[in-house]
Amino acid sequence: MRLFFASWPPAGVASALSAWAQAARRDCGGRATRPDRIHLTLAFLGDADPDEARATAAAVRLPGCAFAIEQARYWVHNRIVWVGPAETPAELSALAEVLGEERGFAAHVTLLRKARPAALPPVPALEWPVPEFVLVGSRLSAEGPSYEVLGRYALG
């Protein structure tokens, strides 16, 4: 099981982003993230020890924050279409760092995989609150990854 820390959006934000992904898919093709799986990864830990991850999470003393969905982009290197803030907010970078993200953290929400580059529709103006974060276990199966929430942690 691979572990990651993430922020899940409120249902209204997830459904608005899912509708946007369906619109973008008309030109970009690929596979849209299911609305219930739309998330912002804060730190990808991979094949890590769940107890260590829980201890790291429980020690976090940082305030809640929020970010705005302000842009949509295509990344050629992994063929994803994502949306996110124009600049990664400092509060999110600080959270990603204490949670163990080792690569440079770039706040992005993957909405299409295996997509091709094309003009993207304008993004809806959305505010994504981050009052808490979750520890998630991801298992790969023939039907794709399945996620299990292993812990939920409130921010201050």
Q: Which of residues 136-155 bind ligand 2AM (CB under 6 A)?
A: 138
Nearest residue (CB) to ligand 2AM, 143 versus 156: 143
Sign of CA dihedral 26, 30, 33, 39: negative
For 110, counting Cβ atoms within 10 Å of its Cβ (0-12 exposed, 13-18 middle, 19+ buried), the class is buried
Quick one: which of 20, 38, 41, 74 contacts ligand 2AM (CB under 6 A)? Answer: 41
Residue 44 as a binder of ligand 2AM (CB under 6 A): the answer is yes
Of residues 94 and 106, the one with the C-beta less far from ligand 2AM:
106
Of 106, 64, 102, give the one whose Cα is nearest residue 87. 106
- Are the C-beta atoms of 64 and 97 separated by less than 8 Å? no
CB of 3 to ligand 2AM, least distance (A): 9
CB 8 within 8 A of CB 142: no
User: Min. distance of Cβ 63 from ligand 2AM in angstroms?
Assistant: 23
End-to-end CA distance of the chain: 29
Scanning residues 102 to 131, which ones bind ligand 2AM (CB under 6 A)?
Answer: 110
Interacting residues toward ligand 2AM by CB under 6 A: 4, 41, 44, 110, 138
